[in-house]
């Protein structure tokens, strides 16, 4: 059982606080949701957890040990994978090469990387896209490739940064099923950053809500659903407004 | 039937090598010594530009400093092939064992490659941590540093004086073979795991780091390899003219090689080679026109200096219409190998069907 912990993480840019003493914990096989309005600091937290942004204060702990001054590629090799808003695929490479590159980055031999890439595309359900140029894929497929790429080497944790952005209801439902499989079948700890509140409430075991860089609420989906603070953060107004919930399939 | 990546992309270096062979045969059949020297110069440029491509094309980092490695190589040729008696007069500060060393030109090219690669490793371990314009300027600083050292370390480099007595090799074949080897080395690197990782890092550095790729290390491997190619090219350059000075390997050669790479298309090996062949041919034609062409009883000649102006104009026009260079992102290859991969950067193999 592995555990990734953000321990009182603060980040300031030129005196402006982007994150303020944020605590968060993801364990193997668990799906944790990270919600919050635009500018709440969600991506900054993911950047801290994956080594792209050093925290101003606080620490990231992997299995209880702090990661001091880590580099992104080293954290990836230690099993902390991520996706990006907008995919960030290697657009001129084939889909299978996108995954193969990650295998190479993880120190696999070329043949092992290609074999795992092929198996992973199959597992994610996009084996038919293997030989497409990544830059020519529709948005939804791009997201799936990005997830497949992040799953290379079977990481202990995967941090998904708005994977459902721009997806239709059915596409989001398919994605939801995939994320559930990542946690249940691979035993991977998932941190899901998502604006699709319905998807987060439906999928996550635990949810952390950020607003203006601070945790305003944390708890299980039922608790978050009922929270006035969360409702207010999202809608910014009265309690009689409804949270934007998108129905997704189970 | 499944083909290996190497086999699928092999047509690119083969076709490029055949082109070089055609140039060599043209020189042999022409039988003119100046023309022979021109073709040798072209082959040397091919080595330099392919060396430059190995780093710049795969990493996306523009280097203004690679000619420094040619300089290192050129002086290795001087140190290891000039007769000991001559060396004693021009470079008295050389250690005894080096003073007594006299090896064949091809061995000096190999030693030059290793020497330049060693220094590329030393410089690169610092420079490869930089990105973008900072990295480019730092490579230029490296060039200036090497030039300054070689221009002032009189007892070892003869400072700014010409070092003469380097055995001249006038036969075209060694240069052809070296250019072909450079093409194959660059191709082999491009299709290797390191080449693939570096091109991914070139296109999406953030995602590459998140994929476990150590970008400075990936760049360093390309830098060392390209430094080695440049070093061998520098040694052969010295053997082609029999003389070296630090300024032989400075700004002029830096900008010529970079221009050829940019005009040819810096993200492909074919662009590197064709950039040299096309621009060199153009320069040669303009030189002939400047010298004067006999038409009937009158001689037609372009005014002196038109060569540089015309060359600049042609480069501007090429880059206006093809900003990514003549080859763009495409490699030269046989039609059967290429259709699926059109538009893809870098060498062929990763663009093909892996089933």
| pLDDT tens track for B100-127 | 999 999 999 999 999 999 999 999 999 9
The domain of A62 spans 1-24+49-70
Residues of A in contact with B197 (CB under 8 A): 101, 104-105
C-alpha dist (Å) from residue B303 to A22, B34, B283, B309: 74, 22, 15, 11
Residues of B in contact with A71 (CB under 8 A): 209, 214
Quick check: B340 pLDDT over 70? no
Distance (Å, rounded) from C-alpha A88 to C-alpha A97?
A: 14
pLDDT score at B3: 56
Residues of A in contact with B199 (CB under 8 A): 90, 92-93
Domain assignment present for residue A9? The answer is yes
User: Which residue from A minimizes the CA distance to B341?
Assistant: A133
pLDDT score at A87: 87
Contact call for B354 and A130, based on CB within 8 A? yes
Q: Which residues pair with B327 in a beta bridge?
A: none
pLDDT score at B156: 94
Quick check: B354 pLDDT over 60? no
What is the strand order of the sheet A3-13 is part of? A16-27, A3-13, A57-62, A65-66
Least CB–CB distance from A50: residue in B203, B210, B340: B210
Contact call for B351 and A153, based on CB within 8 A? no
Contact call for A73 and B329, based on CB within 8 A? no
- Tokens 């980092």 belong to which residue? B61
Domain assignment present for residue A5? The answer is yes
CA angle B79, B81, B86 (to 5 degrees): 75
Domain assignment present for residue A65? The answer is yes
Q: Indicate the number of domains in chain A.
A: 1
DSSP H/E element including A246: none
Domain assignment present for residue A128? The answer is no
Least CB–CB distance from A105: residue in B199, B212, B340: B212
Query: What is residue B62's three-state secondary structure?
Result: coil
pLDDT score at A238: 43
**What is the pLDDT averaged over residues B335-345?**
46
Rg over alpha carbons for chain B, rounded to the nearest Å, is: 21
Per residue in B75-98, pLDDT (tens digit) is: 999 999 999 999 988 999 999 999
pLDDT score at B217: 97
Take residue B220 and report the two structure tokens written for it. 């360093």
Residue B342: pLDDT band with limits 50, 70, 90: very low
Domain assignment present for residue A20? The answer is yes
Residues of chain A with pLDDT under 50: 237-242, 245-250
Per residue in B149-203, pLDDT (tens digit) is: 999 999 999 999 999 999 999 999 999 999 999 999 999 999 999 999 999 999 9
Distance (Å, rounded) from C-alpha B98 to C-alpha B95?
A: 5
Contact yes or no for B349/B2 (Cβ under 8 A): no
* Nearest chain A Cα distance for residue B292, angstroms: 48
Contact call for B196 and A97, based on CB within 8 A? yes
Contact call for A91 and B204, based on CB within 8 A? yes
* Nearest chain A Cα distance for residue B128, angstroms: 15
User: Which residue from A minimizes the CA distance to B209?
Assistant: A73
Per residue in B267-324, pLDDT (tens digit) is: 999 999 999 999 999 988 888 888 888 888 888 888 888 888 888 888 899 889 999 9
pLDDT score at B4: 62
Take residue B327 and report the two structure tokens written for it. 């080859």
Q: Which residues pair with A191 in a beta bridge?
A: A32, A159
Contact yes or no for A3/A63 (Cβ under 8 A): yes
Domain assignment present for residue A225? The answer is no
User: Which residue from A minimizes the CA distance to B354?
Assistant: A131
Distance (Å, rounded) from C-alpha B224 to C-alpha B19?
A: 27
Contact yes or no for B214/B47 (Cβ under 8 A): no
Domain assignment present for residue A86? The answer is no
User: Which residue from B minimizes the CA distance to A75?
Assistant: B212
Domain assignment present for residue A224? The answer is no
pLDDT score at B179: 98
Contact of B2 with chain A, judged by CB distance below 8 Å, is answered with no
Per residue in B203-223, pLDDT (tens digit) is: 999 999 999 999 999 999 999
Take residue A120 and report the two structure tokens written for it. 């992973």
- Tokens 């059982």 belong to which residue? A1
Take residue B279 and report the two structure tokens written for it. 């621009």
Per residue in A143-187, pLDDT (tens digit) is: 999 999 999 999 999 999 999 988 888 999 999 999 999 999 999
pLDDT score at A240: 43
């Amino acid at each position: 059982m592995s555990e990734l912990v953000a321990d009182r993480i603060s980040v300031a840019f030129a005196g402006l606080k982007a994150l303020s003493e944020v605590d968060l914990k993801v364990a193997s096989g668990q799906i944790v949701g990270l919600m919050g309005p635009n500018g709440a600091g969600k991506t900054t937290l993911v950047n801290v957890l994956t080594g792209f942004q050093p925290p101003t204060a606080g620490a990231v702990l992997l299995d209880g040990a702090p990661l001091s001054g880590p580099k992104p590629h080293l954290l990836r090799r230690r099993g902390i994978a991520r996706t990006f808003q907008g995919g960030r695929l290697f657009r001129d490479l084939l889909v299978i090469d996108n995954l193969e590159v990650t295998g190479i980055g993880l120190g696999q031999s070329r043949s092992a990387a290609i074999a795992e890439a092929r198996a992973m595309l199959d597992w994610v359900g996009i084996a038919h896209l293997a030989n497409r140029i990544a830059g020519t894929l529709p948005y939804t497929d791009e997201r799936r490739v990005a997830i497949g790429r992040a799953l290379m080497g079977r990481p202990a944790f995967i941090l998904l940064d708005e994977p459902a952005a721009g997806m239709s209801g059915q596409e989001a439902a398919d994605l939801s099923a995939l994320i559930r499989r990542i946690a249940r079948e691979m035993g991977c700890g998932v941190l899901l950053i998502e604006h699709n509140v319905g998807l987060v409430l439906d999928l996550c075991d635990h949810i952390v809500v950020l607003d203006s860089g601070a945790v305003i609420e944390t708890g299980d989906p039922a608790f978050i659903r009922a929270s006035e603070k969360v409702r207010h953060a999202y809608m910014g107004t009265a309690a009689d407004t409804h949270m934007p919930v998108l129905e997704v399939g189970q | 039937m499944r083909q290996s990546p190497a086999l699928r992309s092999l047509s690119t270096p083969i076709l490029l090598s055949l082109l070089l062979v055609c140039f060599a045969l043209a020189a042999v059949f022409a039988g003119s010594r100046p023309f022979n020297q021109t073709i040798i110069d072209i082959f040397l440029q091919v080595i330099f530009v392919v060396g430059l491509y190995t780093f710049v094309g795969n990493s996306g980092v523009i280097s203004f400093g690679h000619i420094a490695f040619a300089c290192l190589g050129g002086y290795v040729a001087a140190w290891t092939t000039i007769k000991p008696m001559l060396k004693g007069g021009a470079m008295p500060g050389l250690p005894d064992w080096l003073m007594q060393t006299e090896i064949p030109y091809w061995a000096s090219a190999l030693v030059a490659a290793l020497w330049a690669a060693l220094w590329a490793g030393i410089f690169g371990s610092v420079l490869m941590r930089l990105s973008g314009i900072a990295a480019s300027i730092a490579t230029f600083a490296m060039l200036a540093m090497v030039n300054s050292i070689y221009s002032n370390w009189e007892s070892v480099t003869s400072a700014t004086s010409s070092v003469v007595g380097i055995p001249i090799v006038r036969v075209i074949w060694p240069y052809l073979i070296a250019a072909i080897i450079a093409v194959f080395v660059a191709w082999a690197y491009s299709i290797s795991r390191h080449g693939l990782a570096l091109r991914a890092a070139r296109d999406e550095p953030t995602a590459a780091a998140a994929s476990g790729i150590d970008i400075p290390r990936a760049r360093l491997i390309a830098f060392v390899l390209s430094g080695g190619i440049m070093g061998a090219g520098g040694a052969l350059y010295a053997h082609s003219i029999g003389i070296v000075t630090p300024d032989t390997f400075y700004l002029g050669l830096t900008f010529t090689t970079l221009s050829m790479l940019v005009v040819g298309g810096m993200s492909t090996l074919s662009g590197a080679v064709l950039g040299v062949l096309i621009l060199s041919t153009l320069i040669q034609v303009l030189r002939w026109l400047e010298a004067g062409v006999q038409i009937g009883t009158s001689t037609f000649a372009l005014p002196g200096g038109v060569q540089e102006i015309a060359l600049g104009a042609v480069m501007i026009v090429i880059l206006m219409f093809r900003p990514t260079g003549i080859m763009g992102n495409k490699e030269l290859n046989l039609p059967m190998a290429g259709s699926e991969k059109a538009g893809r950067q870098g060498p062929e193999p990763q663009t093909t069907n892996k089933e």
